[in-house]
Structure 1
Amino acid sequence: MNNKLIKVHPDDNVAVALVDLWQGDKIEFEGEQLIILADVQAKHKIALTKLNASDKIYMYGVLVGKATSEIEKGGKLATTNVKHEASTTTAKTETVSWTAPDVSSWKDKHFMGYHRKDGQVGTANIWLFFPLVFCENRNVELLKDVFEKELSFHKSTRQRQLLRNLIRGNDIEISEKEEEEKEIFENIEVKFITHQGGCGGIRQDSVSLSKLLAGYVNNPNVAGATVLSLGCQNLQIDIFKKAMNDINPNLDKPVLIYEQQQMGTIDEMLNKIIIESFEEIKKANTIRREPAPLSKLKLGLECGGSDGFSGISANPALGYASDMLSALGGSPILSEFPELCGVEQELVNRCVDDEKAERFLQLMRAYEDAAEAAGSGFDMNPSPGNIKDGLITDAMKSAGAAKKGGTSPIQDILDYGEYVTKPGLNLLCTPGNDVESTTAMVGSGANIVVFTTGLGTPTGNPIAPVIKLSSNTEMARRMPDIIDLDAGDVIRGEKTIQEMGEVLFDYIVKVASGEITSKADQNNQDDFIPWKRGVSL
């Protein structure tokens, strides 16, 4: 690697170390010699000019912090000398023009998906079991044990086989033959969701959960669902049915709902559920993949376990893929509102009209006010892992995280639980928490998700493939069982953002078509966490 530093935007007064640097190193940068004043790990930031206390710090061309003490030119930025600061946005100030990427070579291409009667197209074909209330979690788990073992949807893990051999006193060596288990169905999977909601808390929590679960039923990756209710909980069956009707009045999928308090013994209820669900699963298995236009893709844009390279490799590469999808008439979804702090003005100016711009600002203000009322705030968003790897303020993290959304116009602003209906980029109000955000985007219609990461995270989803894009090659090599693609070529200068974005887009289409199984799906990583509208960053 020839370059040791990168300045992301011409207006920045800091640079990112691309490699480990040592005190006393002399680097030729922008026609000048820069002396490194302290050891600096790759991904961390170096001052390109002397900063006095209270001086503003810019990265990605936006305000990302303020110096709390003097930082000499060539000095390292850290939590000890920098604190969060972000610009204030009150209204749309201009309309940003957009030059769409050239997608002419993709215009006539398609993916192989599962067509639903309402016109949506799935990238998977799932029969979904879930409860309306946590009291039914045990029954869902019992059904999961029965269906997974008998239908062999999830093959025996090597660890289960190892324990089986130990119990039997056999040789602990695991044979490939022993791993093979025949699946009963070829075109349908059965998945299971449990959660801790549906009762207790406040009634609004149950209404919010009903919208999320209705969104999962309406998601094109779901062929039908089996729903368990106790009977006396806050999230009543009629509330759930109303939520489904609100999202899609013409929903035409089998949804089997069972209320335990009306059905007698557990055995009687489970037997009825198994018999009736199995019949519907057999019917769903007859659905086959067929060609579908790329405009039918709704792509969740997620980042987690971010590092100082995320915003200059993986996230902008995903942003380019997002722009490609927008240009093709698809629907990218950008969420994680706490991680949009500091870049509001750019996003507001990209909104297609003033109404959308104002709604975005209202949701952002309400979220930040709630966080501050609870004694927290967006400035507390970076995790210890983020900080260790160079993301030392929320605005710095946000400026890089927002790159996932590319540069296309923002067509719609959605609150949590609302469903994506418009082509082009959609903003969805969610927490920054990886699983809560991914859970929400899939509930709003995402039929595939790309998850960028610099530190590594196994996050997956019960019904939507989650593709992991690494920001750096070191982590991709260390965790090959969870990483699908590596954007480290961008850091080394071996690929441009555009080239990496095109590689990623091609991979998205292959996963959507079932040609490639994402690592998260290979690992059966089915994470599901609803957001209770209390504070979650």
Structure 2
Amino acid sequence: MQLIPHQDSPRHIRLNDADNVAVIVNDGGVPAGARFEDGLVALEPIPQSHKIALTDIATGQPVIRYGQVIGYALEPIARGGWVRETQLRMPSAPPLDSLPMADAVPARLEPLQGYSFEGYRNADGSVGTRNILGITTTVQCVAGVLEHAVARIRSELLPRYPNVDDVVALTHNYGCGVAITAKDAYIPIRTVRNLARNPNLGGEALVIGLGCEKLQAEQVMHEDDASVDLSEPWLYRLQESSTGFGEMIEQIMALAETRLRKLDRRRRETVPVSELILGMQCGGSDAFSGITANPVLGFASDLLIRAGATVMFSEVTEVRDAIYMLTARAETPEVAQALVREMDWYDRYLARGAADRSANTTPGNKKGGLSNIVEKSLGSIVKSGSSAINGVLGPGERYNRKGLIYCATPASDFVCGTLQLAAGMNLHVFTTGRGTPYGLAMAPVVKVSTRTELAERWPDLIDIDAGRIAAGRASIEELGWELFHYYLDVASGRTRTWAERHRLHNDIVLFNPAPVT
């Protein structure tokens, strides 16, 4: 990465020697006539995080960033000009039938030993970073009653059990009024089931149902499932009440207290870093995402993989245009083929809705300097670091091995977070350039900003400022190690993220590609 370093002069970042565009670093952008240290002169005002042409680019010529083509010029772009999204024709998506398949597998990284965190060991061998009572639902109809019950549990019961971190309602919009036997209905069903198995719930999740819904409790909990405790009462159906609302609340609270007693007896113990299951995501991305925050996540991801942990990255539409880089890194041809399988499934899913991956890029992304989904994808995959990709999970599946895992999800922040929780994530990290107060109730969320300006404007929402890299005040390696240690502190409960302290929790949002009746 080439950085023009002077704080009080026009600055830009060029990521690759082949690039013919660079990203403006200065807060507030640069004015027309601004002269960079390398002699480049801005022909017009260019906002921060937007691209400046480093050479004359003729109509039809490729625009290159990250050493990759992000578009083709629709009109001449002069050296020093602002490269706008409207000036680019987006390249076609890489064809899935001619990708490199496990032909550039990275060498195994040197093991990293001597690191641990304080976690909650579960009966099935998994480890939680938090000790939470989870109460899941079979249908949205019960959500209002459960919300009322959880408020009373939190205020009346939880103070008696100081070793329990929280009580969380796993409410969702599924369960009835849906084509539950449709081809793709397995996705929301297994998601609901696996959410209840998340390590942070300690195997003590409860189920609240209505009684007449299509999704029955027995589809959420299985008696032969070692990850949940079904030896004691675990289910209450509201239609079993004979005296109405008051009885419903009392029954839910009584059921909850049996589990709170058990959870309160749990204590943290020292466990190796290999028990960490990190989910990575980005939202409100900008052109700095692939320069600062995501490379830091990638470096820290490599450290976790070296220590034997599980690291998941996701968002199908935000890797689709860079899939050739991922299939080449797959550990085996079978893993590469699984990546292709998920890309193909999602291509067909979008086509059924008369859309394609170009619909992903938001107005905020574009305001932050991202011209299209190709450029966004190239910055997104940097989170995955440099390790070999060891496995692939379909949406709603639970992790079944350690290493670097691609967890196929939509790019929607809320759906992606939900599916990563279902996959078994016990710690979450989220990078943002434009800013978002996103959080999850079931797992701590570490927020990393791409720009210092955002970290300074939102000091009580951003946990780690990766913008220091663009300012030349820290290296990717330094911040990668800082983030690695921060993960361990958060996982151990020694540090609470800003989202935890504010109780900023987004809803669980299921991915349901099946019809709604």
TM-score w.r.t. structure 2 length?
A: 0.92
Q: 1:286-318: CA deviations, max 9, x gaps?
A: 100000000000100111111111110001000
Question: What letter matches 2:14 in structure 1?
Answer: K
TM-aligned CA deviation for residue 388 of structure 1: 0.4
1:214 matched to 2:193: yes
Q: Residues 101 and 48 (structure 1 numbering): CA distance in 2 closer, same or farther, change over 3 Å?
A: farther
Superposition pairs of residues 287-298 of structure 1, within 5 angstroms: 287-298=266-277
RMSD: 2.0
Partners in 2 of 1:18 and 1:534 — Cα distance? 44
Q: Is the contact made by 2:133 and 2:164 (CA closer than 8 Å) also made in structure 1?
A: no
* Runs (5+) with no aligned partner, structure 2: none
Percent identity reads 32
Partners in 2 of 1:257 and 1:183 — Cα distance? 23
Partners in 1 of 2:99 and 2:136 — Cα distance? 42
Q: Is the contact made by 2:101 and 2:336 (CA closer than 8 Å) also made in structure 1?
A: no
* Secondary structure at the counterpart of residue 404 of structure 1: helix
Superposition pairs of residues 15-54 of structure 1, within 5 angstroms: 15-19=22-26, 20-29=29-38, 33-54=39-60
Task: Using the TM superposition, name which of 187-196 and 463-472 deviates more.
Answer: 187-196
Match of 2:218 among 238, 258, 274: 238
1:496 matched to 2:513: no
Q: Is the contact made by 1:62 and 1:342 (CA closer than 8 Å) also made in structure 2?
A: no
Superposition pairs of residues 419-458 of structure 1, within 5 angstroms: 419-458=398-437
Q: Is the contact made by 1:229 and 1:259 (CA closer than 8 Å) also made in structure 2?
A: yes
* Secondary structure at the counterpart of residue 456 of structure 2: helix
Q: Is the contact made by 2:108 and 2:388 (CA closer than 8 Å) also made in structure 1?
A: no
Match of 1:80 among 63, 82, 86: 86
Match of 2:457?
Answer: 478
Question: What letter matches 1:57 in structure 2?
Answer: V
Task: Using the TM superposition, name which of 95-104 and 461-470 deviates more.
Answer: 95-104
Match of 1:95 among 99, 103, 106: 103
Q: Is the contact made by 2:280 and 2:311 (CA closer than 8 Å) also made in structure 1?
A: yes
Superposition pairs of residues 339-488 of structure 1, within 5 angstroms: 339-488=318-467
Match of 1:191?
Answer: 168
TM-aligned CA deviation for residue 343 of structure 1: 0.8
Question: What letter matches 2:206 in structure 1?
Answer: T
1:251 matched to 2:227: yes
Question: What letter matches 1:22 in structure 2?
Answer: P
Q: Is the contact made by 1:11 and 1:58 (CA closer than 8 Å) also made in structure 2?
A: yes
TM-aligned CA deviation for residue 214 of structure 1: 1.9
TM-aligned CA deviation for residue 336 of structure 1: 0.6
Partners in 2 of 1:412 and 1:265 — Cα distance? 51
Q: Is the contact made by 1:91 and 1:357 (CA closer than 8 Å) also made in structure 2?
A: no
Partners in 2 of 1:9 and 1:84 — Cα distance? 20
Question: What letter matches 1:13 in structure 2?
Answer: N
Q: Is the contact made by 2:102 and 2:336 (CA closer than 8 Å) also made in structure 1?
A: no
Match of 1:144?
Answer: 150
Partners in 2 of 1:14 and 1:380 — Cα distance? 24
Question: What letter matches 2:43 in structure 1?
Answer: L
Q: Residues 378 and 368 (structure 1 numbering): CA distance in 2 closer, same or farther, change over 3 Å?
A: same
Q: 1:381-414: CA deviations, max 9, x gaps?
A: 1111110010110010111011111111111111
Question: What letter matches 1:341 in structure 2?
Answer: R
* Secondary structure at the counterpart of residue 210 of structure 1: helix
Q: Residues 300 and 366 (structure 1 numbering): CA distance in 2 closer, same or farther, change over 3 Å?
A: same
Match of 1:532?
Answer: 512
Match of 2:118?
Answer: 112
TM-aligned CA deviation for residue 508 of structure 1: 0.5
TM-aligned CA deviation for residue 272 of structure 1: 2.3
Q: Residues 312 and 99 (structure 1 numbering): CA distance in 2 closer, same or farther, change over 3 Å?
A: farther
Match of 2:209 among 229, 242, 249: 229
Q: Is the contact made by 1:91 and 1:358 (CA closer than 8 Å) also made in structure 2?
A: no
Q: Residues 99 and 7 (structure 1 numbering): CA distance in 2 closer, same or farther, change over 3 Å?
A: farther
Q: Aligned residue pairs: how many?
A: 497
Match of 2:67?
Answer: 61
Partners in 2 of 1:144 and 1:275 — Cα distance? 12
Q: 1:450-471: CA deviations, max 9, x gaps?
A: 1011111111112110000111
TM-aligned CA deviation for residue 92 of structure 1: 2.3
TM-aligned CA deviation for residue 534 of structure 1: 6.6
Match of 1:521?
Answer: 500
TM-aligned CA deviation for residue 190 of structure 1: 1.2
TM-aligned CA deviation for residue 516 of structure 1: 0.3
Partners in 2 of 1:206 and 1:231 — Cα distance? 20
Q: Residues 87 and 138 (structure 1 numbering): CA distance in 2 closer, same or farther, change over 3 Å?
A: closer
Partners in 1 of 2:146 and 2:219 — Cα distance? 20
Question: What letter matches 2:104 in structure 1?
Answer: V
TM-score w.r.t. structure 1 length?
A: 0.88
* Runs (5+) with no aligned partner, structure 1: 154-181
* Secondary structure at the counterpart of residue 377 of structure 2: helix
TM-aligned CA deviation for residue 95 of structure 1: 2.4
Task: Using the TM superposition, name which of 335-344 and 56-65 deviates more.
Answer: 56-65
Q: 1:163-197: CA deviations, max 9, x gaps?
A: xxxxxxxxxxxxxxxxxxx6642334211222221
Q: Is the contact made by 1:300 and 1:334 (CA closer than 8 Å) also made in structure 2?
A: yes
Partners in 2 of 1:409 and 1:211 — Cα distance? 27
Q: Is the contact made by 1:188 and 1:285 (CA closer than 8 Å) also made in structure 2?
A: no
Partners in 2 of 1:262 and 1:474 — Cα distance? 55
Partners in 1 of 2:352 and 2:43 — Cα distance? 40
Match of 1:14?
Answer: 21
